[in-house]
A and B are shown apart, each in its own frame.
Chain A
Amino acid sequence: MTIDITTQERDELIQRYYDGETIGREVELAEKLLQTDPEAQALLKSLQDISNSISVDIAQALAGEDFSSYWSNIEARLDDAPATVEPDSDVVVARQAAPIPSVPWFRRLFTPAFGAVALAALVAVAVIPNLGTSPSPTGPGPLSYSVEIEEVESAGPLVIVQEATDSAPSIVSFTES
């Protein structure tokens, strides 16, 4: 079987085959090329050689490294200073802010501001009832016709209720039995 393909298309196909990126019937086509075309075989071999030459034994490399001071070295390089703009530059150097410690919400109550508000509230609660129950030494205070009649009961035959106005008090008239 003759494969009608240009040199460039062949090289790109072998490259995709090596990378595992072939689609559809490209795998079948690439393998046929590799069986029949020495240049395709040479290309695949060169790709494998390049890959092998830059491969590193990661486990062996890591074994030779000392990570005991890895995080401490990072922390030592961190700066709490705020982000700055370098002179004559558009580059913003952002530095990570120190993390805000997590504090339960109820512990935030114990602040001077909250103490002041709580004290004011306690004073208000303590004083308002006294204002209401302590008679004025100078008399009963200003007259008010603001009276809400809530319930009327009578054993008599007739009751007349006259609501208060701004200038006159409410009047409830009973007729005795």
Chain B
Amino acid sequence: MRSLAVLLLLLLTLAPTTVLAGGEASVAVEVIQGTKGGSGTDSKVSKHSGTLSNFGGFGGWKAAGSFTVKTALGKAASKSVSGRTFTATLTELTASKAKVKLVITDPKGKDHAVTSSFSKGGQTVLTSKSSDGSEMHVFVVRVSF
């Protein structure tokens, strides 16, 4: 019984935090572009109207592109769209969580990054407003693993 208890305790302790060697995450991105003072929402992005309603003063929402990158542990995967570069790097992976660093590199080469832990199918939104405030790019990100 003692050995059984030790085994179960070991499994319960290690299982949720075990890093899965060789795993990868799939990062699907939809990029939506809007302009200051614009109006309307393109039908292709209308499913995100709830999210887009958060950005008052901007409108004319339209799809700027969509792509999927696959990132392995410690390996960055990038894609450029509308003058910005989107980079995803899987930094940690367990059975239930994937920690991913997402970076948007703006036209001036400056990085804007967020590191988040995603559950399966986790979704987050990044926005990048141009320095002059005339336009905004919305990155709707979904992580699968």
The list of the 8 closest CB pairs from A to B, nearest first, reads A155-B110, A174-B112, A176-B106, A140-B144, A151-B115, A154-B112, A148-B117, A133-B23
Given contacts A147-B122, A153-B112, whether A172 and B127 have CB atoms under 8 Å apart is yes
On whether the beta carbons of B142 and A143 are closer than 8 Å, the reply is yes
Closest to B92 in A: A150
At the interface with chain A, which of B1-9, B29-37, B38-46, B59-67? B1-9
Q: How many residues of B contact A (CB 8 A)?
A: 53
Residues of B within 8 A of A176 (CB): 106-108, 110, 112, 128-131
A-B contact pairs, 12 of them (CB 8 A): A108-B3, A132-B23, A143-B121, A146-B118, A146-B122, A149-B124, A151-B114, A153-B112, A155-B106, A170-B124, A174-B126, A177-B131
Please pick, from B28, B94, B130, B140, the residue contacting A140 in the complex, using a CB distance under 8 A: B28
Q: How far is the CB of A83 from chain B (nearest CB, A)?
A: 27
Given the complex of chains A and B, what is the CA–CA distance between A132 and B24 in angstroms? 9
Closest to A150 in B: B115
Of the candidates B108, B112, B121, B124, the one having the most CB atoms from chain A within 10 angstroms of its own CB is: B112
Q: A38 within 8 Å of B by Cβ?
A: no
Query: A109 in the interface, Cβ–Cβ < 8 Å?
Result: yes
Q: Of all chain B residues, which has the CB nearest A148?
A: B117
Shortest C-beta distance, A27 to chain B (Å), equals 63
Q: A129 in the interface, Cβ–Cβ < 8 Å? A: yes
A113: nearest chain-B partner, CB-CB: B4
Contacting pair B112 A129 (CB below 8 A): no
Query: Digit string of A65-82 for contact with B (CB within 8 Å is 1, else 0)?
Result: 000000000000000000
B residues bordering A, Cβ < 8 Å? 2-4, 7-8, 11, 15, 18, 20, 22-24, 26, 28, 50-51, 54, 93-96, 99, 104, 106-108, 110-131, 133, 140, 142, 144-145
Return chain B residues, CB-CB under 8 Å to A132: 20, 23, 93-96, 120, 145
Q: How far apart are the CA atoms of A87 and B51 in the complex, in Å?
A: 87
Asked if residues A142 and B121 are in contact (CB atoms below 8 Å), the reply is yes
Known: A118-B7, A121-B7, A132-B23. A153 touches B129 (CB 8 A): no
Residues of A within 8 Å of B, CB-based: how many? 48
Given known A129-B95, A174-B127, A174-B129, contact A140–B121 (CB-CB < 8 A): yes
Chain A contacts for B126, CB-based, 8 A: 171-174
**Residues of B contacting A109 in the complex (Cβ-Cβ under 8 angstroms):** 3
Q: In whole Å, how far is B73's beta carbon from the nearest beta carbon of chain A? A: 11
CA of A1 to CA of B99, assembled, Å: 110
Interfacial residues of chain A within 144-177, with CB under 8 A of chain B in the complex:
144-156, 159, 162, 164, 168-177
